[in-house]
Amino acid sequence: MVQVERKPAGMGIFNYVLLFSSVIILPGIEWPLFSWLNGFVPLAAFLFLYGFGWNTGSKIVVQGVVLAFAVCFFLRTLPLYVLALTCIPAGYIIARSAVRSENQISAGTKGILALGTCWLVFWGGLIVLDSSFSYSALIHGVQDWMDVLMNAYRNNKSIPVDTLIAIEQMLNQTKTYFPVILPAILCNFVIMTIWFTMVCGNRLALKYIGKAPWPEYKLWKLPDKLIWAAIVAGIFALLPAEPLRTIGINLLIPVSVLFVFQGLSIVVFFFNKWKMPIFFRVPLYVLAVIQSSGTIILLILGIADIWLDIRRLNQQYEDLK
């Protein structure tokens, strides 16, 4: 597929450069308050490359990177600048997949591998350059933060005793299992960043560019064979033998997150089908994601769709043959 080059209109190319550089600069100004903006770096790269074409889009990205370097050098936030740069290759990979008309599964897999590899290189390089930073130091740092949080709860006289006991038990369990599931947590950050990039990028591309590389999110579906990864991971997680148990847990959690996202797409599908007003949808989306019971329901929906074809997507595919 040949991509048509488009010239920026309205804002002009320099304003787009300022926009892209701002996404890189802001996390370093107030870390970790603005750290979530790093998730917009691959999204912005994807939109500029897919929307304006490879040449114009690359000019915006490169000039934004140069401008951000000058500002971050002055602010002495270059490590966070480099962290933001690690997100850009994923945007390029996803944009390339979109231009080649690859499906969302292929594009997402490549994006996850690209971002995961870049982050491994970044954190590995940080460990080599800074002897005070290590994987174990990260674990101990989080556990120390939990101790500080627990002491703060204990000193708060307004908290009932039974509530305080429940909080302490939860934090102690988290401290115990955090070192075991940390690889899965880091992997989930990669998955969620790519998912956010593709879902929002697909929607914004349709709205502002006039074309979307993939179907609407409500029609997204994971490969049926992925259920075997969940089954194998679940078996390993139940084994008493190490390291198989730890491997199983750290594989099961990311796979479960993928099925949660599939469950969310099913919810979006039926909300659209029932024409539910947006002011009802948003609170329900938020509750479904942040509440543990809602997340479990999404997970069950996502897994059940493998066998039940809840949206009848497989049937529609057969009818088109």
Angle between helices 54-75 and 78-85 (to 10 degrees): 160
Q: What is the pLDDT of residues 220-257, one digit of tens each?
A: 999 999 999 999 999 999 998 889 999 999 999 999 99
Distance of alpha carbon 20 from alpha carbon 15, whole angstroms: 9
pTM: 0.90
Q: Is the Cβ–Cβ distance between 126 and 103 less than 8 Å?
A: no
Residue 162 pLDDT > 60: yes
Determine, yes or no, domain membership for 158: no
Query: What is the domain count for the chain?
Result: 2
Same domain for 59 and 111, yes or no, is: yes
Distance of alpha carbon 300 from alpha carbon 316, whole angstroms: 23
- Please list the helix, strand and coil fractions of the chain in percent, rounded to the nearest 5, in that order: 80, 0, 20
Same domain for 127 and 224, yes or no, is: no
Mean pLDDT of 93-105: 96
- At 320, list the tokens: 């088109």
Same domain for 58 and 191, yes or no, is: yes
Q: What is the extent of the structural domain holding 264?
A: 215-321
Same domain for 238 and 114, yes or no, is: no
- At 201, list the tokens: 């990028």
Same domain for 59 and 94, yes or no, is: yes
Q: Is the Cβ–Cβ distance between 266 and 310 less than 8 Å?
A: yes
Determine, yes or no, domain membership for 230: yes
Same domain for 244 and 309, yes or no, is: yes
Distance of alpha carbon 190 from alpha carbon 197, whole angstroms: 11
Determine, yes or no, domain membership for 155: no
Determine, yes or no, domain membership for 165: no
Same domain for 26 and 127, yes or no, is: yes
Same domain for 192 and 276, yes or no, is: no
Last residue of a domain, one of 150, 178, 211: 211
108-117, 129-138, 192-201: least confidently modelled range:
129-138
Same domain for 117 and 246, yes or no, is: no
CA gyration radius, the chain:
22
Residue 318 pLDDT > 70: no
